[in-house]
Amino acid sequence: MVRSSSRRRPSATGPAGPSGRSSRNPIPTSPLSRCGSGEIWNEPNSSPSGIDRTRKAIDESGDDASLYVTELGWGSDPKVPNDLAKSPSQQAKLLSESLTTMSEQRERWDLDGAVWFTWRDSSDGPVGECLWCATAGLVDPDRDSKPSWLAFTELTGGEP
């Protein structure tokens, strides 16, 4: 998910109207997407095209909002019937490719950070209705390293 948080003060006109846009800022919002003194806009697609759309909307609005990619991740159980469920090696490859692309495009996108969905797999099975979420961690429920943890520490300079 790509999130944008406005650095501007909130509009005196109040929350977004029926169109989903505040009069101060043309970035689409919903009543649930407002937070604190700024606005939050969620783009559910954290692909490069989704990040490009978000950055373009911010720039066209004249805002200087910061941009974060959050809830980035894939599950590591290919038996789960979902496009976000991959093998452990595919999960690691996607993590590496995504974070590398974000690092390379950081200035262009004015990207302030990226957050992996969860650090550890769930020991309780599925997380609500999200079947792939239970295996989206960088380590398994016993905190043993998965290939994605090794990929993450290789990129960040950490110790596996």
User: pLDDT confidence of 6, banded at 50, 70, 90?
Assistant: low
pLDDT above 80 (res 156)? yes
Q: How many helices (H) and strands (E) does the chain have?
A: 4, 5
Nearest-5° angle of CA 77, CA 81, CA 83?
A: 85
Cα 45 to chain centroid distance, Å, stands at 8
Sorted by where each begins, the domain ranges of the chain are 1-72, 74-96+119-160
At residue 56, the pLDDT reads 87
Predicted pLDDT of residue 5: 56
Phi, psi of 136 (to 5 degrees): -85, 0
